[in-house]
């Protein structure tokens, strides 16, 4: 099975900061990677798929990049509503689509 790791696991940042989260796969997954945002008590929300394609309705301050085994999610200017936990997910090894362990973004 493909394993995903995320770094950091916890991130403390201020409004307006540029934030970058990294997701690494145990083997190459081409661009079959998605990013989700989850707030407490809520279902995850799709932000980015195919590594860099922004889901409709998601603010342009979110962006994704990478291919193969290393991927990044960047928030260009952190907003108050962005404090949440972020998960990456690989969609290469159909149908087993594992998630990363998550990165919690907290207020500094």
Partner 1 sequence: QVQLVQSGAEVKKPGASVKVSCKASGYTFTSYYMHWVRQAPGQGLEWMGIINPSGGSTSYAQKLQGRVTMTRDTSTSTVYMELSSLRSEDTAVYYCARMYSSSRGNAFDIWGQGTMVTVSS
Residues that bind partner 1 (CB under 8 A): 31-32, 34, 36, 38, 43-46, 49-51, 53, 55, 87, 89, 91, 95-102
Closest CB to partner 1 among residues 20, 38: 38
Least Cβ distance, residue 54 to partner 1 (angstroms): 11
Rounded-to-integer distance, Cα 58 and Cα 79, Å: 13
Closest CB to partner 1 among residues 18, 106: 106
Neighbours of 103 (CB within 10 A): 21
Q: CA–CA distance from 52 to each of 13, 32, 42, 80 (Å)?
A: 23, 10, 24, 23
Closest CB to partner 1 among residues 6, 19: 6
Rounded-to-integer distance, Cα 1 and Cα 26, Å: 9
Q: Which residue has the tokens 């919690």?
A: 104
């Amino acid at each position: 099975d493909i394993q995903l790791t995320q770094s950091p696991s916890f991130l403390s940042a201020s409004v307006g900061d540029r934030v970058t989260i990294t997701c690494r796969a145990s083997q190459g997954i081409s661009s079959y990677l998605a990013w989700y945002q989850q707030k407490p008590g809520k279902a995850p929300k799709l932000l980015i798929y195919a590594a860099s394609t922004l889901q409709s309705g998601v603010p342009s301050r979110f962006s994704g990049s990478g291919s193969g085994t290393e991927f990044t999610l960047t928030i260009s200017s952190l907003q108050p509503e962005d404090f949440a936990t972020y998960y990456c997910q690989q969609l290469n090894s159909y149908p087993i689509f594992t998630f990363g362990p998550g990165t919690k973004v907290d207020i500094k």
